[in-house]
Structure formats: structure tokens, C-alpha cells
């Protein structure tokens, strides 16, 4: 599986329509559990495979998640991104749009290349 999605249930359904499997999460604890299950395959506290069916997400190359989910992950996500391992993490706006204070992809590109049109 190349792509996997973590976010709210409405977007999980939407991603399934285009062939990308996913798992819905409702809070920080669930988000961390699923994220670790995908990136590590093991639950640190139980020392066993996660009970949640991740549908083969352990071999995904790109992990798509909502901005809200990324916020819930906090330092866990930052440490993963600094490790430079797969899966790559892509954050998208949630069903209610972007969170306040978040840059859009276009804003980030403009800032990186220094061109404003």
C-alpha cells in the first residue's frame, strides 16, 4: 500500500472512495496509537501488535493526515519527521478547513523561492 490516511471519519470515507484506506481517530491517544502502529508496528505499552486493524498500513510510503491529527501527535510527529524514515507525512486541512495560523502549501512554496505573484 503506497498511501494511508488518518483523520476524521468523514474524510476516511472520502479517501476510501478514491482507493486510499484509512483509520478515523477521535483524540490524541487514538492518534498516537495508530501513528505508532503504522510507523513502528508495535504498541510500546503492551509490547504487542496493535489490536486495531490497520489494513496493511505498515508498508505505506505516504501517510496523509489532517492538520488536527498532526496537532494531536505533537512531539511524536516531529521526532518521526526528523528521523527521515518512511512513511512521509503529508498534512491536509480537515473537513472544516485549515486551522488558524497554518500556512498553505502555496504560501510555503512562495516563501521558499521568494516569488510572490
pLDDT in tens, 51-81: 445 555 556 788 999 989 999 998 998 888 8
The CATH code belonging to domain 3-113 is 3.40.50.10580
Q: Report pLDDT for 44.
A: 45
Q: Model-level pTM? A: 0.72
Q: ∠ CA(54), CA(64), CA(116), 5° rounding?
A: 175
Return the higher-pLDDT residue of 103 and 76: 76
- For residue 113, the surrounding DSSP H or E stretch is helix 105-113
DSSP label at 51?
A: S
Q: Could you tell me the residue ranges of all domains in the chain?
A: 3-113
Q: Report pLDDT for 97.
A: 56
Buried b (16+ CB within 10 A) or exposed e, 5-28: bbbbeebbeebeeeebbbbbbeee
Q: Report pLDDT for 114.
A: 75
Q: Report pLDDT for 40.
A: 78
What share of the chain has pLDDT > 90, as a percent? Answer: 22
Please name every residue paired with 48 in a beta bridge, in sequence order, or none if there are none.
Answer: 43
For 6, the 3-state DSSP assignment is strand
Q: What is the mean pLDDT of residues 19-38?
A: 90
Determine how β-strand 62-66 pairs with β-strand 3-7: parallel
99 vs 92: CA distance, rounded Å: 10
Amino acid at each position: 500500500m503506497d498511501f494511508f490516511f488518518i483523520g476524521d471519519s468523514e474524510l476516511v470515507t472520502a479517501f476510501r472512495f478514491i482507493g486510499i484506506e484509512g483509520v478515523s481517530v477521535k483524540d490524541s491517544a487514538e492518534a498516537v496509537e495508530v501513528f505508532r502502529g503504522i510507523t513502528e508496528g508495535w504498541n510500546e505499552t503492551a509490547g504487542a501488535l496493535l489490536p486495531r486493524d490497520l489494513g496493511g498500513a505498515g508498508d505505506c510510503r505516504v501517510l496523509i493526515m489532517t492538520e488536527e491529527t498532526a496537532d494531536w501527535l505533537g512531539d511524536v510527529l516531529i521526532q518521526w519527521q526528523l528521523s527521515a524514515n518512511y512513511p512521509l507525512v503529508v498534512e491536509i486541512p480537515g473537513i472544516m478547513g485549515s486551522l488558524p495560523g497554518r500556512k498553505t502549501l502555496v504560501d510555503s512554496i512562495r516563501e521558499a523561492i521568494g516569488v510572490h505573484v
